Amino acid sequence: MPNPLLEKLKSGPLLCDGAMGTSLFAAGHTLDTCLEMLNITHKEDVASVHRAMLNAGAMIIETNTFGGNRYRLEHHGHEDRVRDVNFRGVKIAREEREISGNDVIVAGSVGPTGRTLEPFGQLSVQAAEDAFREQAEALLEGGVDCFLIETMGDMQEMHAAIRGIRAVCDLPIIASVSFGEDGLTIRRLTPEAVIGDLLTANVDVVGANCSVGPKVLLRVIKKMRKSLDQVDGDAPKLIAMPNAGWPTTSGGKWVYPATPEYFADFATNAIDAGADIVGGCCGTTHEHIAAMNAAIAAITPHEIHEVDAPALLKQPRLSVVNLSDEPTQLHQHLGNRFLRCVEIQPPKGFNPTKAIEGARLLKEAGVDAINVADSPMARVRMSAMTLCYLIQHEVGIETILHYTTRDRSMMGLQSDLLGAHASGVRNILALTGDPPSLGDNIGSTGVYDVDSIGLIRIIAGMNQGSDSTGTSIGRDASFTIACAVDPTKPDLEDEARRLRQKIEAGAHFVMTQPIFDAQVWLDFLEIYGESRLPIPVMIGILPLHNSKHAEFLHNELPGITLSDEARRRMKLAGSNGREEGVKMAQELLHELRAHAEGVYLMPSFGRYETAAEVISILGEEPALALQGNRQN
């Protein structure tokens, strides 16, 4: 499946963010500060820059890792913190993306080493390549969507960076070169020569940034566009990110003259000249980005600005309120066809756009239902029930609500369930939930009036027309009840015992924790004492991205245990980790299809396209679409 960046570029021009360094200096950090270390020491300062750029309309945000290679960090005595500053830089950017709820791209920023390469300098090309690979590994581990190599003046160093990244992954690479006032690189290459050079590399976007202001950079990208237009077949896309003019110093600070209005004009002119991505470099603030966003929105139908989430509810939508209370479509198809479900996590903020667009992509890929997690890992996110409602109304696909007893009293549980039923959210995965101590809300306490087995009994009682006290709720509910099982737990006898209790309590189908070896499930069935469970099963599969991702899941996340073989294969995969992860997931799906009635995919980092790629082996059987009339 295509990467989100490449897919978005098909719809129109994208707006990148502005200068991280300029904003951090404005926040009070001095010119001799190691900006990348702020990812560790001043996380909120970095997060606030991302937040401002997102609010301004940026659709690509760059991590605060421009100088995150070992040689630049060595200047500050932090050469041993490469992994930390890059990994945390990605985490900060991704967290702000989640809070915003916007479907934006997180680009791993990669700048030059700050050393001169041989034969003019002392740093060998191989040493530079090794440093870029080291940085790329950490950025990849953090979960970047693409890489942005920027401010490169030496093409030899640019190619070292490209090779370093390609040694660890196949994610899109944006290769941006720095030009002087004369329109040439530091090695006296023309824009045309740079394009000719980059066409020999495995990159997806080429262009120019930094060093010069909009006027000179516009001339540069026009020449680049002309060269790209002469390419036979698919040519790379084009990016342009100038400085805010030529800076002067005032009071010990750099001052850039170009105004936001001037950058708005540049954005329009650059897109007219053929740029596919525009943004800002040194001196550009969120005000410049906001002005560019407004200018772009005025000339293109592609919406770059933030979606107004409440406005979603003003549009016509599918009704999912079924007053006849027939079983859900998911229930009707259980055991009759192999079902495909994918998990989406709610945003950490107010905007559900990314989640809704992810659900739309998955529906188009043939997914039957969307699982919505309930503040997993005990970290605050948007109400899972609310997101289920929005997805069903805006996308027209059924959801499975993950619902925990952790946060709700007996009264609260039943009130929520009545509301869920009325709004059409009727597929419920009954869970106990991760303890609050696992999360970061100090002082928060769990309720746990009942556990998951008790919750199943409550929901099953509602299906018989009464609440937990036996009081009538007016008529029978029509919930479809799912329960969870973890076949990787050390005490499988106890897990089998609890599963029997869940089934006896009224569960309609089972969803497993992630499995990485088919034999794990077969071994559990043997302990359970049956060749097949008495109710349908959806096998949980989590596609792996690389070896570090695999080790993190195995060693640090509760409820996830990888097989030794899965860890070995990911380690051997090296730079082909994502492809190997998809292949392993597809192999597992193929093996277990005969032992299950469906699959439940859990894509990491919001990579819904990876889940779509995994289920592509199941063929073109149409997904379940919600039935109902259009209503206002």
**pLDDT computed for residue 211 by the predictor:** 83
Secondary element (H or E) of residue 196: helix 191-198
Q: 248 or 501, which is more confident?
A: 501
| pLDDT at position 619 | 76
pLDDT at 466: 93
CA 220 to CA 579: how far, in whole Å?
A: 37
**Domain 4-299 classification at class level:** alpha beta
Q: Measured between alpha carbons, how far is 518 from 590 in angstroms, rounded to an integer?
A: 10
Residue 393 has pLDDT above 70, yes or no: yes
The tokens for 587 are 């192999």
pLDDT at 437 over 90: no
Asked if residue 316 has pLDDT above 50, the reply is no
Element containing residue 175 per DSSP (H, E): strand 173-177
Residue whose C-alpha is closest to residue 212's, from 160, 258, 163: 258
| pLDDT confidence band for 475 (50 / 70 / 90) | confident
Which of 535, 520, 508, 525 lies closest to 588, judged by CA?
Answer: 520
Q: Cα–Cα distance between 330 and 482 in angstroms, integer?
A: 11
* pLDDT tens-digit readout, 331-375: 999 999 999 999 999 998 888 999 999 999 999 999 999 999 998
Tell me, what's the pLDDT at 338?
95
Q: Is the pLDDT of residue 631 over 50?
A: no
Band the pLDDT of 179: cuts 50, 70, 90: very high
Domains 4-299 and 325-631 equal at CATH topology level: yes
Query: Would the pLDDT of 425 be above 60?
Result: yes
Predicted pLDDT at 309: 40
What percent of the chain is predicted at pLDDT more than 70? 91
pLDDT at 302 over 90: no
φ/ψ of 330, rounded to 5, equals -60, -45
Which pLDDT band, with edges at 50, 70 and 90, does 251 fall under? low
Q: How many helices (H) and strands (E) does the chain have?
A: 23, 20
pLDDT of residue 306: 42
- Can you say whether residue 470 is alpha, beta or left, with left for phi > 0 and alpha for psi between -120 and 50 degrees? left
Where do the structural domains in the chain lie, given as residue ranges?
4-299, 325-631
Residue 279 or residue 98, greater confidence: 279
CATH number for region 325-631: 3.20.20.220
Asked if residues 255 and 243 have their Cβ atoms less than 8 Å apart, the reply is: no
Query: DSSP 3-state helix, strand, coil percentages of the chain (rounded to 5)?
Result: 45, 15, 40
Name the pLDDT band for 250 (thresholds 50, 70, 90). low
Kindly state the helix (H) or strand (E) to which residue 269 belongs, with its residue range: helix 260-272
**Full-model pTM:** 0.79
pLDDT at 307 over 60: no
pLDDT of residue 376: 78
Contacts of 152 (CB under 8 A, 6+ apart): 111, 112, 158, 161, 175, 176, 177, 178
Mean per-residue pLDDT of the chain: 90
Residue 1 is predicted with a pLDDT of: 56
- Mean pLDDT of all residues in 244-255: 70
pLDDT tens per residue, range 161-173: 999 999 999 999 9
Judged on CB neighbours under 10 Å (0-12, 13-18, 19+), 571 is: middle
Is 287 a residue whose pLDDT tops 90?
Answer: yes
Q: What is the pLDDT of residue 614?
A: 95
**What is the pLDDT averaged over residues 554-583?**
90
Instruction: Give the separation between CA 266 and CA 630, rounded to whole angstroms.
Output: 43
